Amino acid sequence: MRVGLFGGTFDPPHLGHLVTAVNVRYVLKLDLVVLMVANDPWQKHGTRDVASASDRLAMVQAAIAGVDGLIAGDDEITRGGPSYTADTLAALHERYHGAELFTIVGDDAAAKFGSWQRANEIAKLSTLVVVDRPGSPLMPPCEFNWHRVEVPRLEVSSSDLRARFIDGRPLEYLVPDQVMQVIAARNLYGSNS
């Protein structure tokens, strides 16, 4: 079995995440891509408030409902504490009985890979996959082997979407309708104020 791990804060999930997941799955012939919701994204500490893990998981579940080969992962939430990819890969390896694992990241995340906890272990446990995001291409650290996959580049980020909520700019088509429904039902990002 070939399983992709696509981890993120997903605050909120958007079309960039989904288009990346389905295209990497197609190109690398993965059986599954797990959109793993970070419990405590320690790399974002001190930068801003993050929506609760259960709200972010509910949004990811809504985003991928009915999409073949994509699942929402709650392992990091269940484990609690800071989210470390090496631990998550070990859990997936056990669950999927020795599956071949792929760690999927955008080039912004890949550029910081050297600062990830236990980066060498992640590189040993999985094939590292990088996709480009709009803007100047960022180079991943060259001491690791990267597999580059072309996906449509969509100029969308969770930060921009949160700013759109604050300013009242349109979010339609950038965030799936099912996710918008979760946001409204849970009153996230000041959606009902």
Q: Which is nearer to ligand ATP, 10 or 84 (CB)?
A: 10
Q: Which is nearer to ligand ATP, 116 or 125 (CB)?
A: 116
Question: 84 — phi, psi (to 5°)?
Answer: -115, 125
Distance of CA 2 to the CA centre of its chain: 18
User: What is d(CA 12, CA 82) in angstroms, rounded to the nearest whole number?
Assistant: 19
170: left (phi over 0), alpha (psi -120 to 50) or beta: beta
**Contact residues for ligand ATP, defined by CB under 6 A:** 8-11, 16-17, 20, 105-106, 108-109, 131, 133, 154, 156-159
Smallest gap from Cβ 41 to ligand ATP, in A, equals 7
Q: Which is nearer to ligand ATP, 20 or 88 (CB)?
A: 20
Q: 90: which 2 tokens?
A: 């070990």
Smallest gap from Cβ 68 to ligand ATP, in A, equals 20
Smallest gap from Cβ 150 to ligand ATP, in A, equals 11
Q: Which is nearer to ligand ATP, 72 or 109 (CB)?
A: 109
User: What is d(CA 2, CA 111) in angstroms, rounded to the nearest whole number?
Assistant: 25
Q: Which is nearer to ligand ATP, 24 or 94 (CB)?
A: 24
